[in-house]
A and B are shown apart, each in its own frame.
Chain A
Amino acid sequence: DSGVTQTPKHLITATGQRVTLRCSPRSGDLSVYWYQQSLDQGLQFLIQYYNGEERAKGNILERFSAQQFPDLHSELNLSSLELGDSALYFCASSETSGRFYEQYFGPGTRLTVT
């Protein structure tokens, strides 16, 4: 158990809808990262927050947004969902930000868009 929690575990929704994925980092970790894992694209970095502020942005669509709250938990919002958004979404956390720090991953949220 990495100490990173994600809810829900599974989510099934229809095209055009909006969903929110939630992540609680390990105790004491200030950085939260979001990743998308799909069969065709592999593991793609979406976005990072550090202590409440956006730190780095990857291949995140404009329909997607995230935030990190004062208690350091984070939410990933996915809107106007398309079939291609079906994937496993991982949250990870690290002690701080930067190249020296390994990331600890949550169990993921499996999103199915029908």
Chain B
Amino acid sequence: AQSVAQPEDQVNVAEGNPLTVKCTYSVSGNPYLFWYVQYPNRGLQFLLKYITGDNLVKGSYGFEAEFNKSQTSFHLKKPSALVSDSALYFCAAYYGGSQGNLIFGKGTKLSVKP
């Protein structure tokens, strides 16, 4: 079965420190992977995607993600966290071919303390 796992419900980081939000996936075929962020009382915002090519993908707001095929992972990273990065982060994978769609992980709450 297709699935996306975010093993941590919450990640706590001090401002200025690097952050990592973990994601692993299980989809058939080539993976197409996405990260979204949700701020309180807002819709999801697209951060970045991996379709093919370089394993390190750069996205919005200084975020990047590293695709690792052997570990079936797509971890979100940022070198220096900001308090304003505090939000709910969702990893998603596309499945199902031409009539498929996104399957989302449960989400990881990122808390950045000053």
Q: Which residues of A contact B (CB under 8 A)?
A: 2, 4, 33, 42-43, 45, 48, 55-56, 58, 90, 92, 97-100, 102-108
Contact = CB atoms under 8 A, between A and B. Distances in A.
B100 A42 contact: no
Interface residues of B, number: 24
Given A45-B104, A107-B41, A108-B43, 13 more contacts: A42-B106, A43-B107, A58-B101, A92-B44, A97-B98, A98-B98, A100-B51, A102-B49, A103-B102, A104-B46, A105-B36, A107-B42, A107-B43
A99 B94 contact: yes
B98 to A, nearest CB: 7
Interface of B: 32, 34, 36, 41-46, 49, 51, 90, 94, 96, 98-107
Contacts of A4: 43
Contacts of A33: 101
Contact of B44 (A42, A55, A58, A105): A105
A107 B34 CA distance: 19
B46 A103 contact: yes
B8 to A, nearest CB: 15
A92 B43 CA distance: 9
A97 B99 CA distance: 8
Given A56-B96, A99-B94, A100-B32, A45 B46 contact: no
Contacts of A105: 36, 43-45
Contacts of B32: 99-100
Contacts of B103: 45
A99 B99 contact: no
